[in-house]
Structure 1
Amino acid sequence: MFYPLVVLFVFVDVILLVCQVFPFVRLQDVAYLMGFIPAAAVTWQILTCLLMVAVVIAFMLFLFSVKRSSFLGCLALLNFSLLFYAFSVYGGDVDRGKFWRVPESVPVSSQIVYFYTYRQGAFLEKYFEEGRPFTKAAYKGATELWFDKEAGFQDKVLLIVNESWGATLNPLVGERLISPLRNLKNVDVVEYGSKDFVGATVAGELRELCRLQPNHFNLSDVSEGFEDCLPGRFKRQGYYTHAIHGAVGLMYDRIHWYPRVGFDERVFFESRSWQERCYSFPGACDLELMVTQLSPMLEREGKRFIYWLTLNTHSYYDARDLRGDYFDCAEYGVLPEGEACRNLKLQAQFFKGLAGVLSELSSGVDVLVVGDHSPPMFDQREKEAVFVDSKVSYVRLRVK
């Protein structure tokens, strides 16, 4: 009985640790997404292997200590470790009321109890409704206004779901990122703000495309529920619909469900030959996609709805994807060597590139850029010093 309990406690600790970075809801989703590890960035492959090795080594060392030491000695060591941990976190000034984390900094608590209690909440219960792949989104997307009107769009409509574009604590940082758009003479910034959201990338996509949230991530065989999504709506208004994403189409089964959502044309990493391959997540580089795919689509004749899910601002925010330095982290009090700084530099590069594309357009376009989720980071203290947790940014534009 003793050993199974140890395994259970370690398992819950590991799950909650992972969920602090990636807030997965179902254990089945974790197992499903593990199948995509070979397509992930090398950094994630190494970290996954190290995590598995660390868990095995920790468990083996525990068993060894139990066999070699007295029970009272092991118990004393365990209690000393727990006491040290309690004092290290108690009374801290960091807000711990975050998703998947104990809501208060208390000296004694239980991850097991919290794990069970949280999963009984009304929000998570929606993910386990039998027989339904989707439920109505718990968070309103920035595209809500587009669902509410059937006319009044320009001939070109561009929706960009921007990977890991969160809301910053310092509003000047956010303004600095979108400043290339504000400086364009042919573009009006209609609205800029933030919205609440917790979830993975595919949940962010479905929030904006369909006003839905997934009950699971395995969408390869799902054929129902996509009837009222934006691409289908625009198709019924006479628009030709495009989807662009630099990763392979098998990620999150997009190669299967994008056509069912209503996209006439899909471009993935395997669709073309690319000059470069970027690093933050393996795939085509966003800057190349802007020039070779996005810009030509916007210049084609006829009514077109274009959807683009960006890639290079994906965690771990690899600095090798930077082609220039367009954001001074030190100027805004952001740690220059940290993940937050790399995220902001990559975002600044993205918006500068997008401004370049929009500046050359010869026809009017309605544009909406919105984050999929807040930027995942390993160092929560660093994230909390720069970003507002559980919020995404958005900006609405109109090219004249």
Structure 2
Amino acid sequence: MSFDKNFPTIIKIANLLKYYFPLRFWIFLLLYLLITNGLFWLAHIFVYSERYIIVLEYIWILPLLFLRRRWSLVLFALVYTVVYIFDILYWIKQFYHYDNIVEFIEILRFIPHAPKLYWLFITVFVLYLAISLFLILKYIVRLCSGRMIWSLGLLYLIFAVFFFDYRGVNLSNRYQTSGWWGSYYETIQNLKFNHEFFWRGTVKPEFYDWPHGGVLQKQIDMQNPPKKILFILNESWGTFIPEHGAVNPSVDAPLINIPNVQLIAQGENPALHSTIMGELRELCDLKAKSSNFILGPFDKFKQCVPVHLQKEGYLVQAFHGSYSKMYDRKDWYPHMGLQNARFFPQFSNIKQCHSFPGACDYNIVHDVSAANKAAQGKSFIYWLTLDTHHPYSEKDILGNYTYDCKQPIFDGRQEACRNLNLQHQFFTVLANEIKAGGFKDTDIVVVGDHSPPIMLDKYKDSFKEDSVPFIHVRVH
């Protein structure tokens, strides 16, 4: 008595499964999933990033590969590249917050001035795209056959009916995706705040009022402003969360503990996630739907603080350690009333620091102080700092660390620890300049531009996301 004669139905099912789901199909699928997702699995291990374990878009395009025709392979390569680029764009959102593709493309123009770490990531992304396509089209495709289209269809039908549960939408937010599997298309369609990211987005900024108000106009009485004002927009100064009351007050303590310095106010204020949005918030009490400020229109810039103070007879000056081409500041600064702006290399000491290419703030402070002293009448100086920019290079930390990064509180928070050390260093440098006689009879307002971005730390929640600290002192 043979097994075949007694169980014909089972044998037929087994033969069908063997025909449609041969071992070669499973080997192919395993290798393909490894290639298309491997970079992000490694990133999850080394950078602690979040992303779907398997992105379904890579599965959907497989029929083009299974056909094994010249035209289908070319089309597969093109579509695969688009999916990969979109995959990278969404992955980046968890570290660098941008609203739409147009805004991101505008930022790419400034990559030549970016830190080396960012160049490293770009190189890895490009190399992995080339290597993955080479492996798929040179070797993996040999395991394919047109019959596998039916295999994939049946497998996907089983997956959709019994396993797919929209977990991508449930476990994702506007900055990252997470879960065993998911589709970016599904995520975008189901999350309202991602619609603008998917489409071309806003071209013009469309400036409108910032509902919370900037710190500068809250602290400085524009009807009766002090004779001399130094306003500092402090790059990546945030409020450290995992602490017990010791860290945050000590960061700006050097500025307070000076005999001729009077503390007027300190606290926190709502903020967005980019430097130029911080500039717009603080100098003009505005926000914008796009970072492409160069397109204008600039009619609302008439309400900016520098414009108002110029009308009151103030000498307005601006300092920033980076290049004037960064975010096209040379083009839209004048509309804000910042005609007298000095960028790299227009400083007495043009030594470049490492966190972000540009002059070191601990040198620029002397130029700012000299400009403040030289002003005979009413003066407003705007200083946008630079050295505390991500990735918070340890090479920019002078001398000993104020905060020991080996403390348990900084376990898994090394980027955050370096940021705090650089911030304390900045306030120490500013305090030393005050002690040396700089900024006499000057109101100084310092506020963070945005919450510090965290990329390499295990824990990404070191700083409050939507608010920044500020301090207002008066030097007598």
Contact 2:207/2:287 (CA < 8 Å) preserved in 1? yes
The equivalent of 2:223 in structure 1 is 151
Secondary structure of the equivalent of 1:21? coil
Identify which of 202, 215, 227 aligns with 1:142.
215
The match for 1:282 is: 357
Which residue of structure 1 aligns with residue 135 of structure 2?
Answer: 61
Q: Using a 3 Å threshold, how does the CA distance of structure 1 residues 315 and 8 change in structure 2: closer, same or farther? A: same
| Aligned residue in 2 for 1:310 | 385
Q: How far does residue 208 in structure 1 lie from its aligned partner after superposition? A: 0.8
1:48 paired residue among 122, 139, 146: 122
Map 1:343-382 onto structure 2 (within 5 A): 343-359=419-435, 360-361=437-438, 363-379=440-456, 381-382=458-459
Listed one character per residue, the Cα deviations across residues 49-69 of structure 1 (whole Å, up to 9, x for unaligned) are 222222333344344565122
Residue 315 (structure 2) aligned to one of 240, 243, 266 = 240
**Per the alignment, in what secondary structure is the counterpart of residue 233 of structure 1?**
helix
Distance in 2, matches of 1:36 and 1:112, equals 29
The TM-score normalised by the length of structure 2 is 0.71
Aligned with residue 301 of structure 2, among 216, 219, 226? 226
CA distance in 1, matches of 2:457, 2:135: 28
What amino acid is the match of 1:376? P
Structure 1, unmatched stretches of 5+, are 91-95
Measure the CA separation in 2 of the matches of 1:281 and 1:36: 12
Structure 2: how far apart are the matches of 1:98 and 1:263? 38
Given the alignment, which residue of 194, 207, 211 partners 2:285? Answer: 211
Q: Indicate which of 249, 252, 257 corresponds to 1:178.
A: 252
1:260 partnered with 2:335: yes
| 8 Å Cα contact 1:23/1:99 also seen in 2 | no
Is 2:269 the partner of 1:195? yes
CA distance in structure 2 between the partners assigned to 1:14 and 1:139 by the alignment: 33
Check the 8 A contact 1:223/1:260 in 2, yes or no: no
Q: Please give the per-residue CA displacement for 1:354-373, whole angstroms capped at 9, x wherever unaligned.
A: 11123324632222111111
Deviations 1:322-366 (A, max 9, x none): 222233334572149821122111111101011112332463222
Does structure 1 retain, via aligned residues, the 8 Å contact 2:209–2:285?
yes
Matched pairs, number: 380
Is contact 2:235–2:386 with CA below 8 Å preserved after alignment?
yes
Task: Name the SS of the counterpart of 1:195 in structure 2.
Answer: strand
For 1:207-263, what per-residue CA distance to the aligned partner results, in whole angstroms no more than 9, with x for missing partners? 111122233333335352311101011112221101100001000111111111102
Whether the aligned pair in 2 keeps the contact of 1:335 and 1:341 (CA below 8 Å) is no
Using the size of structure 1 for normalisation, the TM-score is 0.83
Higher Cα Rg, which structure: 2
Distance 1:320 1:129, change over 3 A: closer
Aligned-residue identity in percent: 29
CA deviation map 1:85-113 (0-9, x unaligned): x9xxx9xxxxx8865234xx665554333
Q: Which runs of 5+ in 2 are unaligned?
A: 1-59, 62-75
Equivalent residue runs for 1:294-333 within 5 Å: 294-300=368-374, 301-325=376-400, 326-331=402-407, 333=409
1:294 CA displacement: 1.3
